Structure 1
């Protein structure tokens, strides 16, 4: 099995005349936490959308486990082993936390077995319970998702993403809008999840990701300006200049 799980080769993205990303080549190592950082407007979310299949690059290619996945329909990414959690929480507020995860798991199997009786889906209910425990929400099992705190909703969304048993988990600013305590809980969860799968994290909180990342990519004005270990990035003069005057969180 290759050490590289995901690779981009000279990917670029234009929106009309605006160049959002330019010639980004990078490799993401299996079993590691890689964080993509940079100031606001650096192109982090656009790059995330290319990695997750939400956007098709206007140049270059994306490879997952050695396979060219450039331009594939987004729903196929989940079946290949890629799951994502976006910056804006996306849960069903009227359903319970357990129902949210069960629906996410059921959506995957129902595409292949539309005649499967609902009563025969006890395995999905068990899986939902396991994932609730995995993300620390087992005591919120019967609570409507809309009544959860913001950090709990983010954890629930990650639980829903895990329903596809992904080998690669993509997280877009998972701590956005969180209190310091919620942020600590989320980072502990990310570290725990990374023991079982590859994690790619998009963040603007540079200090936060320095403590948990194996590797970092730094974007600025749509270009990759640095990559390496946290120590490499701390010492990088160009990164220091980019963040000079930027308020770190």
Structure 2
């Protein structure tokens, strides 16, 4: 693992019974950079993303974060070491307010609630939640029910929840899925703003978007790594053109 990599996978393989979803994937997420994972449907993106975020344990291979193995850690332990994931399916408490969604996330990282928790702690958690809402541009909606937010706003709220543990590596699963062009622009501006202070990895289908914002792109095909490189390198790679770009995915 190089000093420029915050997370590296080495020969990571995942099997489900007799089916091999990922095979021998070795890639690097470079510190302070945006790394995108792309590939046709069925390329193994979701399985791989689940492994690097703690959802699945590899069948074999190694995942190193800040030089230490994270294989075998439970998903909540990934958050404690500094890896947080925002899911493709919005994962919020719809009946709670926007502020309460984030406060619950902040509080869950510090302690299990009990009646002896000092009131000052509650104030501190609310202040942290307020700061995260300001960061993602939702401070004016903080008292609204999460269910009443527009789709793009819900994704922004979920990113705020993912930021509650102040992760070094933020993983986003299709952050602009189902969004209008305007919502997409807002989310991508937020992601680029967050990139100033942390490393980001994301799965995304919108190719023009990926080419414009990524520092590094991982291309998967049939469960294996096709290539990892800069947008220019990916754009000019003949194999990528053949299996992906040439199929009209833009």
Give the TM-score of the pair, scaled to structure 2. 0.96
Contact residue 39 and residue 246 of structure 1 kept, 8 A: no
Give the TM-score of the pair, scaled to structure 1. 0.96
Residue in structure 1 matched with residue 201 of structure 2 by the alignment: 200
Q: How does 1:113-192 map to 2 (within 5 A)?
A: 115-192=116-193
Residue in structure 1 matched with residue 27 of structure 2 by the alignment: 26
Q: Aligned partners of 2:249 and 2:163: how far apart in 1?
A: 30
Q: Secondary structure at the match of 1:121?
A: helix
Q: Aligned partners of 2:79 and 2:90: how far apart in 1?
A: 18
RMSD: 1.6
* Structure 1 unaligned regions, length at least 5: none
Q: Secondary structure at the match of 1:27?
A: strand
Q: Aligned partners of 1:39 and 1:187: how far apart in 2?
A: 22
Q: Secondary structure at the match of 2:240?
A: helix
Structure 1 residue 203, shift from structure 2 partner: 1.1
Structure 1 residue 65, shift from structure 2 partner: 0.4
Q: Aligned partners of 1:191 and 1:113: how far apart in 2?
A: 38
Q: Aligned partners of 1:169 and 1:93: how far apart in 2?
A: 23
Q: Aligned partners of 1:118 and 1:220: how far apart in 2?
A: 52
Structure 1 residue 107, shift from structure 2 partner: 0.4
Q: Aligned partners of 2:101 and 2:84: how far apart in 1?
A: 16
Structure 1 residue 112, shift from structure 2 partner: 9.4
1:60 matches 2:61: yes
Q: Aligned partners of 1:117 and 1:15: how far apart in 2?
A: 47
Structure 1 residue 118, shift from structure 2 partner: 4.2
Structure 1 residue 119, shift from structure 2 partner: 5.0
Q: Secondary structure at the match of 1:76?
A: helix
Residue in structure 2 matched with residue 240 of structure 1 by the alignment: 241
* Structure 2 unaligned regions, length at least 5: none
Q: Aligned partners of 2:72 and 2:84: how far apart in 1?
A: 16
Q: Aligned partners of 2:207 and 2:42: how far apart in 1?
A: 15
Structure 1 residue 205, shift from structure 2 partner: 1.7
How many residue pairs get matched?
A: 249
Residue in structure 1 matched with residue 42 of structure 2 by the alignment: 41
